[in-house]
Amino acid sequence: MAARAVILGCSGPTIGPEERRFFTSADPWGFILFGRNVESPEQVARLTADLRAAVGRDAPILIDQEGGRVARLRAPAWREWLPAFDECARLPGIGLRVRAMHLRYRLIAAELRALGIDVNCAPVLDLARSETHGVLRNRCYGDDPVEVAAIGRAVAEGLLAGGVLPVMKHMPGQGRAGLDSHLALPVVSATRAELEADFAPFRALADLPMAMTGHVVYAALDPEAPATLSAPMVRLMRGEIGFDGLLMTDDVSMRALSGDFGDRVARALGAGCDVILHCNGKPEEMAPVVAAAPRLAGRSLARAEAALTLRGGEADAGEAEAELATLGRSHA
């Protein structure tokens, strides 16, 4: 039987008997880890093994390990990195930026695989703009669509070389959002023609296996609903952008979305998303999310299975470490 079309967080660094029983019954497609789940390399490796044991299969385990401000794994056990925007700005020329970011994510992939984590929510393909909210801006790679696409490709290839699946975000482009979607619903008033630049990096990387939606209203295309819940926006992602991989929502517990959790799940899946992401590990929220989510089937199941076939790259990252040192290591 196929797994349920959800990715769930867990509450802490271990899973207790009750949480384990819930995960076994819920049978989510995957799990996602946050700082609250991280204490040491040995502990994280045990946790990922226990999560997979709870569902009885090699479920994908995700994390947001961008480096910089958004990093769930921190020093001293793991490398610290400059924010992506600062890292790219310090290097002269697109060639060096592309190579440095490839090496950075090759090393991140090695750290993740050692812990049993095999999906990283990167690259960030949003364009850095003057209005980009501070929660996102220094995570961006730049403001030029062509350069952002080239760096994003390097990030994805670095992860895949290390056996970690990339998730490009936040489709179809969140750089014009002046509000933090964790707290409020951003509305972008740009014209369809203006939005073409925001879509361009996603179109260039439309062959990647996974993508995450943005909780943003694009008024020129659908003034009623954020992209995550919008059938016209998902059709744009599938059609004009050309993405046919696994489309997961951003966290449905974010305040940009309204309605109860069952309604959020139904609307996202009805719009055309494949998998629901719920991150905070709160049982009172996870239960209605799971109850509203069906098991993967049809094209969504095929996309999920296709993505997982790409796990399993080269473990050794020694050459990447040595090459990065020659570029001037970009650790914070």
The C-alpha atoms of residue 84 and residue 103 are separated, in whole angstroms, by 13
Instruction: Let me know: does 161 contact 313? Beta carbons within 8 Å.
Output: yes
250, 251, 274, 278: the catalytic one is: 250
Terminal CA-to-CA distance of the chain, rounded, Å?
45
Instruction: Let me know: does 273 contact 6? Beta carbons within 8 Å.
Output: no
Amino acid 274 reads D
The C-alpha atoms of residue 204 and residue 129 are separated, in whole angstroms, by 20
The C-alpha atoms of residue 281 and residue 262 are separated, in whole angstroms, by 16
Whether 250 is a known active-site residue: answer: yes
| Helices first, then strands: H and E counts in the chain | 12, 13
HSE-CB of 257 using CA atoms within 13 angstroms = 25
Q: What is the DSSP string of 135-202?
A: HHHTTS--S-HHHHHHHHHHHHHHHHHTT-EE-EEEET--TT--S-TTTS--EE---HHHHHHHHHHH
| β-pair type (165-166, 65-67) | unpaired
Cβ burial, residue 109 (10 Å; 0-12/13-18/19+): buried
Whether 86 is a known active-site residue: answer: no
50, 143, 144, 182: the catalytic one is: 182
Name the residues annotated as catalytic: 182, 250
